[in-house]
Structure 1
Amino acid sequence: MPLPFINRELSWLEFNQRVLNEALRADLPLLERVKFLAITASNLDEFFQVRVGSLMLLSRSGRKAADPSGMTPNQQLTAIRKRVQQMVESQYELFRDTLVPALNSAGIRFLNTKGLTATQSDQVAAAFHDAISPLLTPLGVVPGEDPPAVPALQLIVACRVSDPETSTVRHAMVPIPEGIPRRFPVSDVGDSSAFLLVEDIVALHAHELFPGEEVEATACFRVTRNGDIAVQEEDASDLAGEMEEVLAARKLSDTVRLELPVSLPRDLAKVIQEVCRASSNEIMRINGPLALSQFMDLAFLPGMEALRDEDWPSQPSPDLAPGESIFEAIGRRDLLLHHPYESFEPVMRLVEEAADDPQVVSIKQVLYRTARQSRIIDALIRAAENGKTVTVLVELKARFDEARNLLRAEELQRAGAQIVYGVKGLKTHAKICLVVRREDGRLRRYVHLGTGNYNESTAKLYTDISLLSCRPEYGADASLFFNAVTGRSKLLRFQRLVPAPTAMKPRLLDLIASEAERARQGEPARILAKVNSLQDPDIIAALYQASKAGVEINLNVRGICCLKTGDAKHSKHIRVVSIIDRFLEHARIFYFHQGGDPGIFIASADWMGRNLDRRVELMIPVEDSRARRRLLRILEAFFQDNAQASKILPDGSSERLRPAQGEKKFRAQEFFFKEARKAAKAREHERAMTFEPHVPK
């Protein structure tokens, strides 16, 4: 009999529901609710581009094979559309009936074109002429000819236009370029926080785009296209050029979703559907403004601090003294950083100091997703210009970051860095940096190993773990790793690091099986794990076997969880929780009891087939005793959370945990912030009370 398995796509939608549940909370500050709503909309955009796009390709190919949950592509698409429709209705009900009235009351006013004063109308006309109209390009629709190519994920105003002289009627599409702001401030006496949406301004002044004609009707729509277009690496002699072709193909790929207003003239609906080549299955009727994700900026309006959460600034690591060389700090002992509670600054300093340090001879690094203005890339460019050997593996197949990665890779190459565009047939998702420094006539290797990207922007929003070390075993393995991914040699067994796709999954299966065997022998057996997603059928089957053997298993899974909880036969001893809070949970941490000599790991990989079988990843055993104790405390704190945690239910949905009667409320993320602040203050006080003499060198 097949093992119980929750469908991956439906599980992801339940994760997005947990995010939406935060927006639905009346006890959260108003702009935090707006932020969570925008996140759910952005998540759905990517879900349709990638997951729905992939399923539609399978469906159109005639494939009827079922996934591990027993659902065919068509069955999954049907279930997805039903669940998404429910979610979208909930999103817009919240937006219309709760958030907009609350925003209006707070002085953040949504205006409509019908209620404008004369002064406001003049401001809107000026905005159209000065900031909008010069960037618009109407696209005519000619019956019998190929329809115009309309861009994906942009707002488009469809117009029905008539000619009074000839009594003819035609249609045109007016895409609104991404560079135009979504909201335009419209002020009046005593009211400086009102605004009008750009699509309403375009619709109001659309007649100016068609001189001598009349605009009879307008409607704003939005099309989502299939983003699951992969580079054909077997035929790609020029990967960068091939990737540029993929990016171009995405702009005109098949429609996977067409968002239309609920009230829309029939002729306009028909024309839009034909232009987008969308079937009725792809159409979603929306009762409100499209692209809720674009209202994210409302959450960061200046002067609205009272409508946001209290700030939790990142704290300096207590293990790094102000002004101290990062190399001296790492030389004393391994540094474990918990972001964003502890600053990402030491990681950036490692690369920046290496770029300018005359003793550093080489830097090697993997870049998957970087910040738009990246200090790390700037430092790598400076290092190359300073004559150091700089090798950077830039992953061009990082979905939706391909264009930026191409651009930054070209900059690095022009500076003299050696660039490698990933590994053929695999994505390189490992988070690793290797710095080689000459000290006392010998070479010493410093490494950064982590769970998150080298992105200083997301490092303030995502929770991740960084390990900085100069242990010889880590350094030797890091050199072997880079030799393998840049020199096409094999990822053989390392001293410490555990790479995917060659060794990580077998090692995890062995660790799980070892706990199961200990439980069968009557020994204490325990597994704690924190991952973003749990989907790999082999890992799930091994966890079921361990549960049946009596292993206590606690899993913290933020997103997709295909393991079915609550099954008396397979998952009796498995508990799964998911935490959605102000920071996005991104760290991967694994604990295996191993008879009292625990194995504790951090990793770049989730427990998904794509990570374990089709990506270059790293799992790192943590050796430092203090770091190991801290990671265990971090893991255990998540399973104490009764404020932001949800229990994953047998059907894949979730239920918010609440403190039991007499139980104290515990919020893991708040606990981590307070602990980091306490440690930083204690270290600052200790330094203030300590005299450090200058010692001649």
Structure 2
Amino acid sequence: MPAPYLNRELSWLEFNQRVLNEALRSDLPLLERVKFLAITASNMDEFFQVRVGGLILMQRSGRKAPDPSGMTPQQQLQAIHRRVGRMVDDQYELLNESLLPEMAKSGIRPLKMDHLTGTQMDQVAAVFEDSVFPLLTPLAVALNADGAAEPLLVPALQLIVACRLVEPDTGATRYAVIPIPETITRRVPVKSSEDTHAFVWIEDVVAWHADDLFPGEKVSATTCFRVTRNGDIAVQEEDAIDLAGEMEEVLTARRFSDTVRLEMPKNAPRDLGRVVREITRSGTPELVRANGPIGLSSLMDLAFLPGFDQLRDEEWPPQTSAAIVPGDSMFETIAAGDVLLHHPYESFEPVLRLIEEAAVDPDVIAIKQVLYRTARQSRIIDALILAAENGKHVTALVELKARFDEARNLHRADELQRAGAQIVYGVKGLKTHAKICLIVRREGGHLRRYAHLGTGNYNESTAKLYTDISYLTCKPEFGHDASLFFNAVTGRSKLLRFQRLVPAPTAMKPKLLELIAGETERAKQGLPARILAKVNSLQDPDIILALYRASQAGVEVKLNIRGICCLKPGDARWSKNIEVVSVIDRFLEHARLFYFHQGGTPEVFIASADWMGRNLERRVELMIPIEEPALQRRLVRILETFFQDNVQASKLMPDGTSQRIAKAQGQRAFRAQAHFFNQARKAAKAREHERSMTFEPHVPAE
């Protein structure tokens, strides 16, 4: 009997359901619920672009081989559309019956155009004439000899208004579409005596004033629609002489790729619906009917509307780590001992400071760094540019294949290159996803290497929203491995002879299987055996089978998995000793942490990689051992804390769905993320108090 394996795509949809469940909670502040609803919609956009797009390509190629769960591409697509249909219905029921009425009570109200007063109509008309009309470019729809609409290239993930036009003198009918550029805000505010913030949706404004774009014709009907195109288009690296140029072609190809989803209101006129399906080459499987405004991901702006702080969670500002002394050089701090930071509870500022100090430090000779996803206004890239301009040897491995960040990475790589940095566009055939920065500094006549190794991107914006771990060290063996790593990825040598770091795709998966097997063997011998792991996704069949064998041998396996989990928990034969929880809270759980008991001499790791085939076999990743006992204990406490959560945690069930963990009678409520923030705040206050009680004399300069 084969080992049970849950379908990857359906497991992801259940993760998105857990996010939607947060929006459904009436005990959360209103705009936090709006935020979670917007996240579910944004997640769904990417899911259709990448996962559904890939499955459609498999189906069209004639592939019928089942995935490890036993489902063919066709069966997966059918199951996805059924599950998505239910989720979309739930999203709009929540929006229409709960969120919009609650927002109206709080002074946030979307208004319909035909409900506006004369004064409001004039106000909206002025906005349209001044700020919208000049940016609109209507596109005519051509009909073939059979009366069907010819395909028309329309932009993906943008709101588009379809129009039926009538020529008054002849009664002739034709069709046109009006794409609404992303630069135009979704909400057009209107003054209202009753509401603090009243507005109309931009698509309603464009539809109302569509006559202005077609002089001499009458717009007799309109509907809004939105297209999602296949984003699963990979660069052909084997034939690419110029990877940057090839990536530009991939970005262009995505704009012209096949439609994988067509969103349209349920009340769209039948003929307009038919025309939209024809111009987008969409069939019934691609059509998603919305009972309200489409493109719910744009509600994120509404969630952060100024002036409504009372409708949001209290701020949890990042705290200064007790290991960081304000004003001290980061080089001195790291030289005094390894530093472990838990973001965003502890600020990402020390990592930024390290790179900014290195850029201007006369003793720093070289900086080498992997850049996967960076902030739009990145202090890190600015620091690397400054370092290059200051004559330091700067090497940046910029991963051009970071999906949906390719254009930004191309632009920033060009800036770095112009400043004099050496640029490497990743590794041929693999994505470079490792999070590593190496700084070489001259100290006392010798070279010393400082390394930052982490689980998250070098992105100061997401560092405030994602939970990650940073490890800062100047231990020689880690510096040695960091140098080997960069030599391998820039010089096309092999990822071999590492003393501490465990790289993928060469060594990480074998090492993980070895560690799991070690716990399995100890359990068979009647010895204590335990595995704790925190990952975003678990999909690799070999890792799953190894965990099943560990469970069968009696190993206690506790997994904290935010998203995809293809392992089936709760199976009496395979996984009776495996517990899987998922925590969805205000911060996105992103850190990867692994603990193996190892007979009482534990091995603890942080990593850039999830337990997925793509990460372990088709990406350049790093798993970093944490050897300091105090830091090990801290990471184990972090891992164990999530299994105490009875507020934001859900337990994964054998059928792949989730069940929120409720506190037992008499048990106090415990929320892991709140616990981490309170810990960080108390530690920061204690360190600040300690410093205020310490007198430091001025010492005369020599």
Q: TM-score, with normalisation over the residues of structure 1? A: 0.99
Tell me, in whole angstroms, the C-alpha distance in 2 between the residues paired with 1:146 and 1:168. Answer: 18
Structure 1 residue 3 corresponds to structure 2 residue 32: no
Tell me, in whole angstroms, the C-alpha distance in 2 between the residues paired with 1:501 and 1:640. Answer: 34
Superposed CA offset, 1:559-594 (max 9, x none): 000000111111010000000000000000000000
Tell me, in whole angstroms, the C-alpha distance in 2 between the residues paired with 1:437 and 1:493. Answer: 23
Aligned length: 697
* Match in the other structure for 2:468: 464
Residue ranges of structure 1 left out of the alignment (5+ in a row): none
Superposed CA offset, 1:181-217 (max 9, x none): 0001101346441001100000000000000000000
* Match in the other structure for 2:261: 257
Superposed CA offset, 1:2-34 (max 9, x none): 210000000000000000000000000000000
Tell me, in whole angstroms, the C-alpha distance in 2 between the residues paired with 1:188 and 1:544. Answer: 61
Structure 1 residue 630 corresponds to structure 2 residue 634: yes
Q: TM-score, with normalisation over the residues of structure 2? A: 0.99
Give the residue type in structure 2 aligned to 1:472. Answer: P
Structure 1 residue 208 corresponds to structure 2 residue 212: yes
* Match in the other structure for 1:33: 33
Give the residue type in structure 1 aligned to 2:689. Answer: H
SS of residue paired to 1:639: helix
Report deviation, 1:493: 3.3
* Match in the other structure for 2:200: 196
Report matched runs for 1:273-284 at 5 Å: 273-284=277-288
Tell me, in whole angstroms, the C-alpha distance in 2 between the residues paired with 1:658 and 1:167. Answer: 64
Contact 1:158/1:218 (CA < 8 Å) preserved in 2?
yes
Of 373, 376, 381, which aligns to 1:372? 376
* Match in the other structure for 1:329: 333
Tell me, in whole angstroms, the C-alpha distance in 2 between the residues paired with 1:119 and 1:441. Answer: 76
Tell me, in whole angstroms, the C-alpha distance in 2 between the residues paired with 1:687 and 1:352. Answer: 25
* Match in the other structure for 1:478: 482
Structure 1 residue 425 corresponds to structure 2 residue 439: no
Determine what percentage of the aligned residue pairs are the same residue: 73
Contact 2:504/2:621 (CA < 8 Å) preserved in 1?
yes
Of 332, 335, 350, which aligns to 1:346? 350
Structure 1 residue 443 corresponds to structure 2 residue 447: yes
Structure 1 residue 158 corresponds to structure 2 residue 162: yes
Superposed CA offset, 1:292-311 (max 9, x none): 10010111111111101111
* Match in the other structure for 1:675: 679
Tell me, in whole angstroms, the C-alpha distance in 2 between the residues paired with 1:681 and 1:192. Answer: 38
Tell me, in whole angstroms, the C-alpha distance in 1 between the residues paired with 2:10 and 2:668. Answer: 33
Superposed CA offset, 1:323-357 (max 9, x none): 11000000000000000000000010111000010
Report deviation, 1:146: 4.5
* Match in the other structure for 2:80: 80
* Match in the other structure for 1:549: 553
Contact 1:4/1:69 (CA < 8 Å) preserved in 2?
yes
SS of residue paired to 1:196: strand
* Match in the other structure for 2:14: 14
Tell me, in whole angstroms, the C-alpha distance in 2 between the residues paired with 1:333 and 1:373. Answer: 31
Superposed CA offset, 1:430-465 (max 9, x none): 000000000011100000000000000000000000
Report deviation, 1:491: 0.5
Give the residue type in structure 1 aligned to 2:686. Answer: A
Contact 1:185/1:192 (CA < 8 Å) preserved in 2?
no
Residue ranges of structure 2 left out of the alignment (5+ in a row): none
Give the residue type in structure 1 aligned to 2:650. Answer: S
Of 638, 653, 663, which aligns to 2:657? 653
Tell me, in whole angstroms, the C-alpha distance in 1 between the residues paired with 2:359 and 2:150. Answer: 54
Report matched runs for 1:476-555 at 5 Å: 476-555=480-559
Structure 1 residue 597 corresponds to structure 2 residue 597: no
Structure 1 residue 67 corresponds to structure 2 residue 71: no
Report deviation, 1:65: 0.2
* Match in the other structure for 1:110: 110
Structure 1 residue 288 corresponds to structure 2 residue 312: no
Tell me, in whole angstroms, the C-alpha distance in 1 between the residues paired with 2:152 and 2:10. Answer: 34
Structure 1 residue 23 corresponds to structure 2 residue 27: no
Report deviation, 1:147: 3.0
Structure 1 residue 384 corresponds to structure 2 residue 388: yes
Contact 2:438/2:452 (CA < 8 Å) preserved in 1?
yes
Structure 1 residue 393 corresponds to structure 2 residue 367: no
* Match in the other structure for 2:272: 268
Report deviation, 1:692: 2.0
Contact 1:493/1:503 (CA < 8 Å) preserved in 2?
no
* Match in the other structure for 1:614: 618
Structure 1 residue 581 corresponds to structure 2 residue 585: yes
Superposed CA offset, 1:639-691 (max 9, x none): 11111100000000000001111212111000000000000000000000111
* Match in the other structure for 1:170: 174
Structure 1 residue 91 corresponds to structure 2 residue 95: no
* Match in the other structure for 2:247: 243
Give the residue type in structure 2 aligned to 1:684. Answer: E
* Match in the other structure for 1:643: 647
Contact 1:186/1:192 (CA < 8 Å) preserved in 2?
no
SS of residue paired to 1:571: coil
Tell me, in whole angstroms, the C-alpha distance in 1 between the residues paired with 2:497 and 2:557. Answer: 28
Tell me, in whole angstroms, the C-alpha distance in 2 between the residues paired with 1:544 and 1:358. Answer: 54
SS of residue paired to 1:628: helix
Of 318, 341, 361, which aligns to 1:314? 318
Tell me, in whole angstroms, the C-alpha distance in 2 between the residues paired with 1:95 and 1:119. Answer: 28
Contact 2:107/2:194 (CA < 8 Å) preserved in 1?
no
Structure 1 residue 687 corresponds to structure 2 residue 668: no
Give the residue type in structure 2 aligned to 1:633. Answer: R
Contact 1:447/1:469 (CA < 8 Å) preserved in 2?
yes
Report deviation, 1:270: 1.0
Contact 1:603/1:618 (CA < 8 Å) preserved in 2?
yes
Moved more, 244-253 or 145-154: 145-154
Contact 2:108/2:195 (CA < 8 Å) preserved in 1?
no
Instruction: State the superposition RMSD in angstroms.
Output: 0.9
Contact 2:11/2:563 (CA < 8 Å) preserved in 1?
yes
Tell me, in whole angstroms, the C-alpha distance in 2 between the residues paired with 1:477 and 1:142. Answer: 61
Give the residue type in structure 1 aligned to 2:646. Answer: N
Tell me, in whole angstroms, the C-alpha distance in 2 between the residues paired with 1:185 and 1:267. Answer: 32
Tell me, in whole angstroms, the C-alpha distance in 2 between the residues paired with 1:646 and 1:188. Answer: 42
SS of residue paired to 2:442: strand
Contact 1:534/1:606 (CA < 8 Å) preserved in 2?
yes
Report deviation, 1:141: 0.6
Tell me, in whole angstroms, the C-alpha distance in 1 between the residues paired with 2:214 and 2:658. Answer: 52
Give the residue type in structure 2 aligned to 1:117. Answer: T
Of 185, 200, 207, which aligns to 1:181? 185
Give the residue type in structure 1 aligned to 2:78. Answer: T
Contact 2:455/2:607 (CA < 8 Å) preserved in 1?
yes
Tell me, in whole angstroms, the C-alpha distance in 2 between the residues paired with 1:171 and 1:375. Answer: 48
Report deviation, 1:694: 3.9
Tell me, in whole angstroms, the C-alpha distance in 2 between the residues paired with 1:543 and 1:97. Answer: 44
Tell me, in whole angstroms, the C-alpha distance in 2 between the residues paired with 1:166 and 1:102. Answer: 48
* Match in the other structure for 1:120: 120
Contact 1:259/1:286 (CA < 8 Å) preserved in 2?
yes
